[in-house]
Structure 1
């Protein structure tokens, strides 16, 4: 079967190429005709620029899409031919995958092109799941990309006082439209002073680093109160040379807060829900989709561009170099 897919042949290069896909399925696979896929600015951006450790070219890209089920393996019961399926699949017009997170009988309750944003929200939800934050606690989120915005919304919906920190003015405005009340641009004011003012000098109970910039981990510690938590939501990327002892003392010394450092890597939870674990990416996906349908999780505000896959190069350049214009970019394969 002939298809088209996005490939990255070299650093800062994204091309649309033809390929052949063997339609033979394993028992748990489906064949998906992709309708829409979403660019992940963080993970894919790091692969595009070569910032991701171990990046080798050429490589494919993308990991969240929705489309029509064309064929199912003999063990597949979640969906049937003709259903719409939300999958962890790449930027490609056709794909084979076992990772069917949600399946729907059309029509959907929301615009179909918004469904791939579920993945960004489930990535972000891990920071809420692993934290000990409770109703009324103050949580700071550093970074308002798709994951940081999603984390801010989810902590807000869970009853926390959210302070979001971002340098890009447009992303701050989008967060405001998504219901985030307390916003800080560190280029315009001192973030620590503002956090102290908003918390009566106590600092935050939890600070989430949602960018993956290792230089910001120390900033996160500085914003966090005694016996609070710093949560690594963004995957740390790039080299950072510093005095590790000074940073470790934020966790060790009670005088510096005795702050706990936690991982919020999404894969700490199983992909599919089997009942062996309370949480799974599948269950989180169902919850996020429900919040979107109820209008509680704002997603239309995150969509800035819908592009033809042939325009992939300009989209990746925009997400890398023009962050005040680009945030949520959907590829339209229909």
Structure 2
């Protein structure tokens, strides 16, 4: 069987190429005919531009998808031929995977195009899981990309007072449509003054850096109150030259806040749910899907483009250079 997949042959190039599909499955694998896949602007964008440390070209790309089950391994019980399955996978017309997060018997209850956004929300959910934030606390989210917007929605759903910071006006407007009340554009007002005003000088109990820009970690510390938390949700990328002792003293010295620094890398939790851990990526996916289905987590507002995979180059260019236009980009493999 032949398929098509996205390849990045060199920096800032994305192409659609043919490949041969090995239809032989392991006992726990599933063969899927992809319908829709979602581009991750952060992780894939870093691979596209070469910002990701250790990037080697050529390489494939992809993050999350939903498709029709064509074939299942002998141990698979979660889905059967003809079902739809949501998984973590590459951008390809045909994929093999053993990580089925969600499965559905047609007809689907919601538009299949928005289901891949579940993964962006589960990435963001990690910041809530690892935090000590409680109902009524103030949480600052720096960045309103797909992950930052998702984190803003999730912390609000958990009962937090959310303040989101973003430079791109169009992304601030999308966040407003998603129900985020306190929005700050640093180009238009002083972030420190606004956070102090909203919190009556207490600052935030938790600040989440959701971009992966190491230059913003110090800002995150400065927006966080005494004995609060700074959480790294975005994966730090790029060089940042700074006196690290000065930054570490925000954590070490009580006079600088004695602020805890935490990781929110999604892989701190197991992929599939086994009962050995309360949380897993599979369980988080089930929770987010329920929130979307019940209209509590907004997704349609995040979807800006649906493209033919043949137009992948323009999509990655747009996500890199036109952040005012591009946010959530779905590849429609039914057009191939």
State the TM-score bracket (shorter-chain normalisation). Answer: over 0.9
| Runs of at least 5 residues in structure 2 that lack an aligned partner in the other structure | none
Match of 2:12 in 1: 12
Q: How does 1:25-174 map to 2 (within 5 A)?
A: 25-174=25-174
| Length, aligned pairs only | 334
Match of 1:259 in 2: 259
The CA distance in 2 between the partners of 1:151 and 1:23, in whole Å, is 38
**What's the RMSD between the two structures over aligned residues?**
0.4
The structural deviation recorded for 1:63 is 1.6
The CA distance in 1 between the partners of 2:292 and 2:35, in whole Å, is 19
| Runs of at least 5 residues in structure 1 that lack an aligned partner in the other structure | none
The structural deviation recorded for 1:107 is 1.2
The structural deviation recorded for 1:145 is 0.2
The CA distance in 2 between the partners of 1:88 and 1:168, in whole Å, is 29
TM-score (structure 1 length as normaliser): 1.00
The structural deviation recorded for 1:90 is 0.8
The structural deviation recorded for 1:184 is 0.2
The structural deviation recorded for 1:306 is 0.1
The structural deviation recorded for 1:13 is 0.1
TM-score (structure 2 length as normaliser): 0.99
Provide runs of 4+ in structure 1 moved above 4 Å: none
SS of structure 2 residue aligned to 1:201 = coil
Match of 2:232 in 1: 232
The structural deviation recorded for 1:109 is 1.3
The CA distance in 2 between the partners of 1:121 and 1:318, in whole Å, is 22
SS of structure 2 residue aligned to 1:47 = helix
The CA distance in 1 between the partners of 2:106 and 2:201, in whole Å, is 52
Residue 330 of structure 2 is aligned to residue 325 of structure 1: no
The structural deviation recorded for 1:55 is 0.2
Match of 2:287 in 1: 287
Map Cα deviations across residues 166-187 of structure 1 (whole Å, 9 max, x no partner): 0000000000000000000001
The structural deviation recorded for 1:74 is 0.7
The structural deviation recorded for 1:324 is 0.2
Match of 1:297 in 2: 297
SS of structure 2 residue aligned to 1:215 = helix
The CA distance in 1 between the partners of 2:219 and 2:197, in whole Å, is 17
